[in-house]
Amino acid sequence: MANKITPRAQDYSLWYNDLVKEAGLAEHSSVKGCMVIKPYGFAIWEKMQAELDHRFKETGHQNAYFPLFIPKSFLSKEAAHIEGFAKECAVVTHYRLKSDGKGGVIVDPDAKLEEELIVRPTSETIIWNTYKNWIQSYRDLPLLINQWANVVRWEMRTRLFLRTTEFLWQEGHTAHATSDEAVAETRQMLDIYADFAENFMAMPVVKGTKTANERFAGAIDTLCIEAMMQDGKALQAGTSHFLGQNFAKAFDVKFSDKSGNLEYVWATSWGVSTRLIGALIMAHSDDDGLVLPPSLAPIQVIIVPIYKQMEELQKISDAANVLMKELKAQGISVKYDDDDTKKPGWKFAESELKGIPLRIAIGPRDLENGTAEVVMRDTKSKQVVSFSELHKEVPKLLKQIQDGIYLKALKKREENTYYPNNWDEFSEIMKGEGGFAWAHWDGTAETELKIKELTKATIRCIPFDRKEEKGQCILTGKPSEGRVIFAKAY
């Protein structure tokens, strides 16, 4: 089999790039740092969107859309926020081009904007500027809005899906009458992300709180879900922020409570991005191609006919059509690949590359025996199933794959999770394959930065479910109340 994909063991990072390209998920555009998301990759994103959007609506959120451009002055209203984003903003300074007289165009110096516009790196400022007009009374609260949008962050170093200059995401922005309610919203949305990651992406995650160093610019508290990739590195898969009254104060958003007192509102924001596609790839895929969870696979089942004469193909097609009808009736997406210009072997390899969970081959032997060959993408296991059982067997096998890849990822994470008690143990872990190191930390930003400098590992989160446990910081030996998760991260 001609493999176009670099094996993981040889070069993990090259494997990832090859996979994204060869599976047809995305490619580099001619714009530096920006990608073209191709139809197959976008189909996965659409499935993610559909599921998340459904969950947002179920919890009372509505979609809206805010401008791509943000007046420069808005960004500077919240001090921590501008501090965090200033270094990576694209700025629009002019609104017109003109001919350079040599067949090209130049920026027209006479068309300078009075106030420069920032291409949104996130939308808190424009949204809170708007919320000021939407919120007067406690009756206007809570305000629960989400938007699906693109944002731009001018990163120095980019990678397809994981970090691109422009990316797609959703950002929720909510306003509440009380702190407690906003805190509960922050946690609710994180739980939705975690549930989505585990049950749809089949990717186990740890829920926790970010340290001050890793916190969102302008937040009081940042919650996150962290997943472990196959190379042992951590990837932040979603964040949910409790913003306190920071943006309400910056944009003067007040409401009158029941007793007529004017109060600042309490805010949250939360988001996941196309980065999730990168996470999905690195969580499950192998050297032959993508491995997709059935719940996110654009095509869940592919049927490949094997035939010599056209009459044979006709008989197989008749059988395949019956099966397709039965599967589609159960909401299963199925493709019948009767393209005569490709051989079965080519189709097999291609379906593996694309991560199609189940492949059903029907040939002359099967017609005779009333069977089909069913192959599971994750384990490559083959079995012969009687034709009359297929419509019952397929959903079972899809479920089995969904559960199987989750458990495999969980096992991988457990095997690469350590509990070092001193610096030697800790640094040894970070020198090797990596993984999650649950370790004691003295709680200071200085220590965290020092550890990062020494090992490149950062604190991914302070996990919600950690035990109360007295210990000593692995670097300074100072007292600690519980372990935090260190890892090298994407």
Residues of the shown chain interacting with RNA in the complex, contacts defined by CB under 7 A:
1-4, 13, 17, 28, 30-33, 84, 87-88, 153, 155-160, 162-165, 167, 214, 216, 236, 239, 273, 275, 288, 306-309, 340-346, 348-350, 352-353, 361-367, 372-373, 375, 380, 382, 456
Q: Which is nearer to RNA, 142 or 289 (CB)?
A: 289
If phi > 0 it is left, if psi is from -120 to 50 it is alpha, else beta; for residue 150 that is beta
The size of the chain, in residues, is 490
Beta bridge partner(s), residue 117: 71, 92
How many other CB atoms are there within 10 angstroms of residue 20's CB atom? Answer: 25
Q: Which is nearer to RNA, 162 or 282 (CB)?
A: 162
Q: Which is nearer to RNA, 342 or 399 (CB)?
A: 342
- As measured in angstroms, the least distance from the Cβ of 316 to RNA is 9
- As measured in angstroms, the least distance from the Cβ of 358 to RNA is 12
Q: Which is nearer to RNA, 129 or 164 (CB)?
A: 164
Q: Which is nearer to RNA, 354 or 440 (CB)?
A: 354
Write the DSSP symbol of residue 468: P
74 is written with which tokens? 């808005």
**Where do runs of H (alpha helix) occur along 166-268?**
179-199, 246-250
The alpha carbons of the chain give a radius of gyration, in whole angstroms, of 26
Q: Which is nearer to RNA, 177 or 375 (CB)?
A: 375
**Cis, peptide link before residue 293, omega less than 30° from 0:** no
- As measured in angstroms, the least distance from the Cβ of 2 to RNA is 4
- As measured in angstroms, the least distance from the Cβ of 340 to RNA is 6
- As measured in angstroms, the least distance from the Cβ of 486 to RNA is 15
Instruction: For residues 336 and 306, give the distance between their C-alpha atoms in angstroms, rounded to a whole number.
Output: 12
- As measured in angstroms, the least distance from the Cβ of 160 to RNA is 7
CA distances from 376 to 263, 291, 331, 394 (A): 58, 10, 19, 10
Q: Which is nearer to RNA, 92 or 481 (CB)?
A: 92
Angle at 43 between CA 40 and CA 45, to 5 degrees: 115
- As measured in angstroms, the least distance from the Cβ of 92 to RNA is 18
Task: Check: CB of residue 36 under 8 Å from CB of residue 47.
Answer: no
Phi and psi of 129, rounded to 5°? -60, -35
What is the sign, positive or negative, of the torsion defined by CA atoms of 456, 461, 462, 466? negative
- As measured in angstroms, the least distance from the Cβ of 399 to RNA is 21
Q: Which is nearer to RNA, 132 or 159 (CB)?
A: 159
